[in-house]
Structure 1
Amino acid sequence: MTAKHGRLSYAILIGLLLAAAASARAQSDPPVLVTADTLKYDQSLGIVTAEGKVELVQGARTLLADNVSYSEKDDKVTASGNVTLMEANGTVLFADYMELFAGMKNGFIRDAAMLLSDNSRGAAVSAERRDGNRTILRKAVYTTCSLCEQDRSRAPLWQLKGERVEHNEAAQEIIYRDAIFEMFGIPILYTPYFSHPDPTVNRRSGILPPSYINNDFFGHRVRLPYYYAIDEQSDLTLTPQYSTKQGGHLTGEYRRRMATGEMEFDGSITDEEDTGDVRGHFRTNMAFRANDDITMGANILRASDDTYLNRYSIENRPVSNTLTSRVYAEAINNRHFASVNAFSFQNLRSDVRNGSVPFVAPIMDYSAVFEPGDYGGRWAFDANMASLQRNTGTDTRRLSSTVSWAQPYYAPSGEVFTATAMLRADGYWANSVNESLASTTKSDGSEVTGRVIPAVALDWRYPLVRDSQYMRQLVEPIVMAVVSPYGGNPSTIPNEDSLSFEFDETNLFSLNRFPGYDRWDGGPKLNYGFRTAIYGNTGGYAELLAGQSLRAKSDDTFTAGSGLSDSLSDYVARLTVSPGRYISIVDRVRLAQNSQLTVQRHEIGTTLGTNTNYFSVSYAKLADTDFVEDTGEREAISGTLRAQLTKFWAAEVRHTRDLGDNGGSLLNFGGLRYTDECFDIILFAERTFTVNRDIQPTTTIGVRFRIATFN
């Protein structure tokens, strides 16, 4: 008999014996399959002995050992020598000696070690297996850290020691009695009782990692979040904090996910010790699907006062000058889109009267793009209706519709022509159009007005491509002629949504360079430029887009600082360079069309390095466009340097600086981070220089840490 057939015969024999022995206690227990180098059976004692590379498999449970014996009388499996027990859930037990009963569900283990499914590990002087799902360890230790390869006797970065540790697989919990938390082998904390979920748990209620900072506003501040898993669909996180200067502060976040959507609520509240003022915020984000086509939701954000969010660092970045709340419904069906929105704004600027901030409801949009015709032409239709109401200032109601047609043509020479025709009609009903925002009264006069704007355009492009052995080159001249009438912006039409205007390469070849509906870029014009690029075979590339616009005559449509006030516009360009995966440069510029080519706008961003080691810098110089009163000339630079110092240590520094006449540092940040498979800690220092009412320059020193398994 060959060794293979011998093993198989023995395995069948032992399996039958073990199955017969087990049938008396549980007919449903699966049989045990045994393989080994040698198998012996003492019929008088009822003992089966397996020696050499023994493997016992029962269902999803596997036992490996050098020697295994089975007693029919006691229903006991005894294993010794390099014993390994692998469970169905991924847990692996190691021991020098092991006794198992009841189909390997219960037993005793000496000099035990345990590896859980997430690679966390434990060890104990002895362990007892009960009920097939409980393992009780005596004088045990647990950690998620790997042992030092050079000296495996060295204590891990952190570990938990307990006189008695129980892993309850049914409850998915690990419980410690008389536990000591150690770091680098040094006792840090003692507790008579401690528990945490085992690796099979995705979420469970408990305390999250605390954080600490010290700065001029808070003094010493400690945060201790608590996570509460309400059910399978929802959870709640409460974060109480205490600071020596501002007292107590509470933040809460509720989340719920359903089959048709999800919702999130968060808020905070504090009673400041300095002023006695109650301050706080509330935010909600909701989205629900009524069916495959319709989505409804809300995004609401409100704060108790203008500076609260920035002062208490509620947001991860500085808050803008306005908080926007929105309730909406959207429908998308093939090439059709429709939406209904309502907007409310909370002003955070001290120089704007709250009564002049509008409430927008409703604002409705509809867009349809139809199937192309036989020659590729395509019709489109857009409509918009909006109503803006103010306590003081202008009230506006607007109805707008646009019909357009676009026809491409690809010439045999490679030239690409696109003809476009558009007809737009706008109707307005507004009152107090010329009333100052500083006014405290609202006039009763109202006026109905409108406009009809036709426009036709022809876009010509001639992409010229040349292939070589190492690269592909592209040169593409672009010319676009647009014809539309003058006079599309009468004084009776208020400007509500076209204030934020910037002339750059993104709208150089647009029919209307204004965003929104209220302003129209009228009159005949010729837009021209070129795009050139080089694409390397190894992935590197460089692209340049540059151009200018020529208007038939100048008018008061654009302000002096816009770059479009004269017949010849400023020059706009964008250069993108990426020679390889470790470097990228994006440079955007607007140059005045005078002989000095004065820089009106310049933005450049560069990143050098990998995801772990990199240097990035961005620079921006923005001229005053005169469209918004509080927007003057601005110039700033910011940079970030990150270095992976060792396998586990990394450092990062950031700096932002205002380069204006009254400029200076805006932000200094330095951080040191240690991260491995079981521990993550960040030490940082930050200095902000913002001055805004009760927000003053602040220095913050803090620490945040995370211990694997306990989060």
Structure 2
Amino acid sequence: MAVAVPSQTVRSTRAAAAGRQASGAQGLRGLALAGVSALALSLSPGLLATPALAQDSVLNALGTQVDPDEPLLLEATELRYDFDRDKISAVGDVQIYYGGNTVEAERVVFDRRQNRLRAEGNVRLTEPNGNVLRAASMELSEDLRDGFASALQLDTPQRTRFIADGARRENGNKTTFDNGIYTVYTKPTNPPGKPPLWRVRAATIIHDETERTIEFQDASLEFFGRSLVYLPYFSMADPTVKRKTGLLSPTLVVGDRVGVGATIPYYFALDPTYDLLLSATPLSKQGLLAQAEWRQRLIDGSYSINVGGLIQAQPGEYSNSSGNRRFRGVIATEGEFDINQRWKWGWDVSYRSDRAFLNDYKFADFGNASDISQIYLTGQSERNRFDLRSYAFRISQEDYSADPKFDAPGYLPVGSRLQDKQPFVHPVLDYNYIFEDPIAGGELSLTGNLTSLTRDKTDAIQIGGTKRFRGVEGTFTRTSLRADWRTTVIDPLGQVFTPFAYVKGDLFFLASQDKTVGALTDESVVGRIMPAVGIDYRFPILATFDGGNQIFEPVAQLIVRPNEGRIGELPNEDAQSIVFDSTTLFEYDKFSGFDRSEGGTRANIGLKYSLQFDNNFNISALFGRSFQLAGTNSFKTADILDATRSSGLASNQSDYVSSLYFDSRQGFRIGAQARFDHENFAVRRGQVEASGIYGPVTGNLAYAYLSAQPNIGIPTAREEVIGSASLRLQENWRVFGSVRYDLQSNNMVRDSVGFGYDDEGFSVSFAYSEDRSRNNGQTTDRLFFLRFGLRTLGDTQFSTNGNN
């Protein structure tokens, strides 16, 4: 006998029930149980005499306790109770909401006699964790620990999908999919029924929630619906797992000198705060390359240690480089730790057996290994900054051929042991402080620097029979402090006056300097001071027009100071690079570092112009030059390197500098800078760079020109073009490339080309590059690189390194 209850009697029924909440099918069983209990509780006692008994018998099987405060909402078109067969049914657009779970079905039946629950017709379960389960029907066993679903589809928040003819759940944590498919979501725009780009089809898929693994038995990897690779068995971590011990995807390697090999990594997830990655790369020519990487995160920071090495089977493959040795390897470590909110310290240190190791084995990842090692301590607040670092340099470049004409006592020839010429910096300290309160109506700031370094051998070059020195043997220490003051006054006409003053003091400590550098002083302690006063004048003139505005701004700057002292008598480590262009025209001191101090009275004059359109197009330009009005011109007087003679500032009337920029504010920008000779207006330095995005095209193109600088060893002009571009084809495909071309020698310095494909679950990219810029005994370094990735399954790559 069946009893039908009118729908308005049970619509939006709310009752109290309890059940154990869990993920997957276990959560569904608890939810369905609560829904049936609510149905029973919602019926009148005359129709159902023992609702509590029905609820308790099921909950006892689960081993859970009833929570009377747990809310439940049930909606259905009709509720029925079959007295003869002891079944409770919810029929028609059934919706059950319980504990964050949602169940939807056309019919839900609880068989009290058999203690079985069955949901039928477009069953849909949405769990709090985001899983969405769809099935034609679902049935649970009497103890509710086992269940079965037919025509199943399970979508996870990680955008992965399981599809199976049927699925069984056992022991509350293991689900077995029969004749199953594992893949990732396809886009809604794909045609219905179209197979995803890739999927794994298996006779059996087992998902173990306790072990958080997915096992595939008798499987095949399919692309575009066709089987590509047969896999009798393999397993992977559950997509929710971020870190899990196991074998990672291998990487194939092919190289002229290393032969053929494969990198096989194994990952150990030892603890939530630390892990270990071991890798072995057997190479047909060179033997076994072994690597290990340790990472640990602590409460105030993290660090890592990366080691790698091998005993080369055929070191003679590297007969033209420093790699001709049996053992080669590297160790690298980095870390950073917070002392408090403003202070932190860290390191980035690496050491390798020889200078060419990283390049010869660049297919391998050695973490932070590089040519520069450092240890640092930094602190920063709103108004001051402290930065203390020590550096060590280990160069990759091969030694040049020796020049016997330059072999003299006290320094090494150009081609001899470049590594010995590298300094050890111990340390360099930079400090900046801005006073909060005005001083004499203006802003006062302090800049400090301490540099101490040691070099084993003098770094010397010979140019036209004249010796130049980039670094001097011995220990060199300098401490500098500079105080800057400035204020700004604007008159009623809009003229802007900025008076300023600064004073810089230096103290040099020289120990065991190379006495063959004749210009150097014999003193061990040298002091130097440079005071300066000046004024900066600007008068911006605004002119508006229909559609925009323009600003003309003449700028004049006057700096009065004494002559620079001790030029050429002291080492110069940090002021060797002199770039005079529109960006440095109005610098008070145009030297790049503290070892040199610009002296004499100088005026800097220029005109700025900007044009702004209402459609956001913007044009800006600058033109100007610098004048040495009195005193010794620091850029004309040579120091031990004489790097300033071709700077454009060596004459009392400098070269002209200019810049011009255009920005569309819609993805395209082009800018140019140039320096013109003060006598004949010939171009001495110039560069043009353009970048833009137009539809599917993204590109960058740059041109650079530098005239000959024979006084620093550049006898001919240099002229290069550098460009890169990327083109997106349709939705997922892209092609890209780059080039660096030497126009003076008609030589391709570097070039690369490649393509890539990326979608929701699959990516592949291929790149080929050539490099002719290295001094490693080889004409060309060639690299082929192929990367292949399947989301959630992992990715692998293949690379070849060819040298000719």
Whichever residue aligns with residue 122 of structure 1, its letter is F
Superposed, 1:507-546 pairs within 5 Å as 507-546=584-623
How has the CA–CA distance of structure 1 residues 120 and 5 changed in structure 2, closer, same or farther, with 3 Å as cutoff?
A: same
Whichever residue aligns with residue 203 of structure 1, its letter is R
How has the CA–CA distance of structure 1 residues 103 and 620 changed in structure 2, closer, same or farther, with 3 Å as cutoff?
A: farther
SS of aligned partner of 2:211: coil
Checking the alignment, whether the CA contact within 8 Å between 2:168 and 2:176 is kept in structure 1 is yes
Checking the alignment, whether the CA contact within 8 Å between 1:657 and 1:665 is kept in structure 2 is yes
**Among 760, 766, 771, the residue aligned to 1:683:** 766
* Residues 628-678 of structure 1: CA deviation (Å, up to 9, x unaligned): 5579743221222221122222111222212233x4112222212111111
How has the CA–CA distance of structure 1 residues 356 and 444 changed in structure 2, closer, same or farther, with 3 Å as cutoff?
A: farther
Counterpart position of 2:661: 576
**Whole-angstrom distance in 2 between the partners of 1:531 and 1:444:** 44
**Whole-angstrom distance in 1 between the partners of 2:170 and 2:549:** 70
**Whole-angstrom distance in 1 between the partners of 2:570 and 2:256:** 49
**Whole-angstrom distance in 2 between the partners of 1:454 and 1:10:** 85
- The offset of 1:528, in angstroms, is 1.3
Q: Is 2:46 the counterpart of 1:8?
A: no
Counterpart position of 2:73: 33
SS of aligned partner of 2:371: strand
Q: Is 2:400 the counterpart of 1:396?
A: no
Moved more, 529-538 or 137-146: 529-538
- The offset of 1:507, in angstroms, is 1.8
Q: Is 2:684 the counterpart of 1:600?
A: yes
How has the CA–CA distance of structure 1 residues 211 and 671 changed in structure 2, closer, same or farther, with 3 Å as cutoff?
A: farther
Counterpart position of 1:291: 340
Whichever residue aligns with residue 16 of structure 1, its letter is L
- The offset of 1:154, in angstroms, is 4.7
Counterpart position of 1:125: 165
**Whole-angstrom distance in 2 between the partners of 1:177 and 1:386:** 65
Whichever residue aligns with residue 674 of structure 1, its letter is Y
* Residues 132-183 of structure 1: CA deviation (Å, up to 9, x unaligned): 4432211111111528966655543222122221223343322222322222
Checking the alignment, whether the CA contact within 8 Å between 1:644 and 1:650 is kept in structure 2 is yes
- The offset of 1:551, in angstroms, is 1.0
* Residues 44-95 of structure 1: CA deviation (Å, up to 9, x unaligned): 5332211211112332322211111122333432111111122222222211
**Among 57, 77, 86, the residue aligned to 1:46:** 86
Superposed, 1:251-330 pairs within 5 Å as 251-275=291-315, 276-313=325-362, 323-330=371-378
SS of aligned partner of 1:506: coil
Counterpart position of 2:229: 189
How has the CA–CA distance of structure 1 residues 630 and 230 changed in structure 2, closer, same or farther, with 3 Å as cutoff?
A: farther
Checking the alignment, whether the CA contact within 8 Å between 1:174 and 1:196 is kept in structure 2 is yes
Superposed, 1:54-453 pairs within 5 Å as 54-101=94-141, 106-146=146-186, 152-212=192-252, 214-275=254-315, 276-313=325-362, 323-349=371-397, 350=399, 351=415, 353-373=418-438, 376-392=441-457, 393-431=473-511, 433=513, 435=515, 446-453=523-530
Q: Is 2:705 the counterpart of 1:621?
A: yes
- The offset of 1:131, in angstroms, is 4.4
SS of aligned partner of 2:151: strand
- The offset of 1:337, in angstroms, is 2.6
Checking the alignment, whether the CA contact within 8 Å between 1:80 and 1:96 is kept in structure 2 is yes
* Residues 334-361 of structure 1: CA deviation (Å, up to 9, x unaligned): 4233333222222444235433322221
How has the CA–CA distance of structure 1 residues 291 and 306 changed in structure 2, closer, same or farther, with 3 Å as cutoff?
A: same
Gaps spanning 5+ residues in structure 2: where?
17-37, 43-50, 316-324, 400-414, 458-472, 795-804
**Whole-angstrom distance in 1 between the partners of 2:188 and 2:530:** 75
**Whole-angstrom distance in 2 between the partners of 1:388 and 1:487:** 23
How has the CA–CA distance of structure 1 residues 289 and 269 changed in structure 2, closer, same or farther, with 3 Å as cutoff?
A: same
**Among 652, 663, 684, the residue aligned to 1:567:** 652
Whichever residue aligns with residue 597 of structure 2, its letter is W
How has the CA–CA distance of structure 1 residues 92 and 434 changed in structure 2, closer, same or farther, with 3 Å as cutoff?
A: same
**Among 736, 740, 743, the residue aligned to 1:659:** 743
How has the CA–CA distance of structure 1 residues 563 and 10 changed in structure 2, closer, same or farther, with 3 Å as cutoff?
A: closer
Checking the alignment, whether the CA contact within 8 Å between 1:213 and 1:702 is kept in structure 2 is no
Checking the alignment, whether the CA contact within 8 Å between 1:143 and 1:160 is kept in structure 2 is yes
Whichever residue aligns with residue 27 of structure 1, its letter is Q
**Whole-angstrom distance in 1 between the partners of 2:207 and 2:765:** 31
**Whole-angstrom distance in 1 between the partners of 2:11 and 2:304:** 61
**Whole-angstrom distance in 2 between the partners of 1:142 and 1:642:** 33
- The offset of 1:567, in angstroms, is 0.9
Gaps spanning 5+ residues in structure 1: where?
none
SS of aligned partner of 2:12: helix
Q: Is 2:775 the counterpart of 1:692?
A: yes
SS of aligned partner of 1:309: helix
- The offset of 1:526, in angstroms, is 0.5
Moved more, 143-152 or 508-517: 143-152
* Residues 203-235 of structure 1: CA deviation (Å, up to 9, x unaligned): 323444444454544454543444333322233
Checking the alignment, whether the CA contact within 8 Å between 1:501 and 1:515 is kept in structure 2 is yes
Whichever residue aligns with residue 576 of structure 1, its letter is Y
* Residues 667-702 of structure 1: CA deviation (Å, up to 9, x unaligned): 222212111111111122223334523444133333
Checking the alignment, whether the CA contact within 8 Å between 1:501 and 1:627 is kept in structure 2 is no
Checking the alignment, whether the CA contact within 8 Å between 2:530 and 2:564 is kept in structure 1 is no
Q: Is 2:556 the counterpart of 1:556?
A: no
Counterpart position of 2:784: 701
Checking the alignment, whether the CA contact within 8 Å between 1:7 and 1:37 is kept in structure 2 is yes
Instruction: Compute the TM-score of the two structures, normalised by the length of structure 1.
Output: 0.90
- The offset of 1:529, in angstroms, is 1.2
**Whole-angstrom distance in 2 between the partners of 1:19 and 1:199:** 40
**Whole-angstrom distance in 1 between the partners of 2:727 and 2:14:** 61
Moved more, 109-118 or 180-189: 180-189
Q: Is 2:754 the counterpart of 1:671?
A: yes
Moved more, 368-377 or 633-642: 368-377
Checking the alignment, whether the CA contact within 8 Å between 1:208 and 1:710 is kept in structure 2 is no
* Residues 355-381 of structure 1: CA deviation (Å, up to 9, x unaligned): 332222133333221014287511122
Counterpart position of 2:467: none
Checking the alignment, whether the CA contact within 8 Å between 1:376 and 1:408 is kept in structure 2 is no
SS of aligned partner of 2:177: strand
Checking the alignment, whether the CA contact within 8 Å between 2:13 and 2:75 is kept in structure 1 is no
Checking the alignment, whether the CA contact within 8 Å between 1:211 and 1:702 is kept in structure 2 is no
**Whole-angstrom distance in 2 between the partners of 1:248 and 1:533:** 62
Checking the alignment, whether the CA contact within 8 Å between 1:605 and 1:616 is kept in structure 2 is yes
- The offset of 1:517, in angstroms, is 0.9
Instruction: Compute the TM-score of the two structures, normalised by the length of structure 2.
Output: 0.80
- The offset of 1:425, in angstroms, is 1.4
- The offset of 1:238, in angstroms, is 3.6
- The offset of 1:706, in angstroms, is 0.8
- The offset of 1:522, in angstroms, is 0.9
How has the CA–CA distance of structure 1 residues 101 and 630 changed in structure 2, closer, same or farther, with 3 Å as cutoff?
A: farther
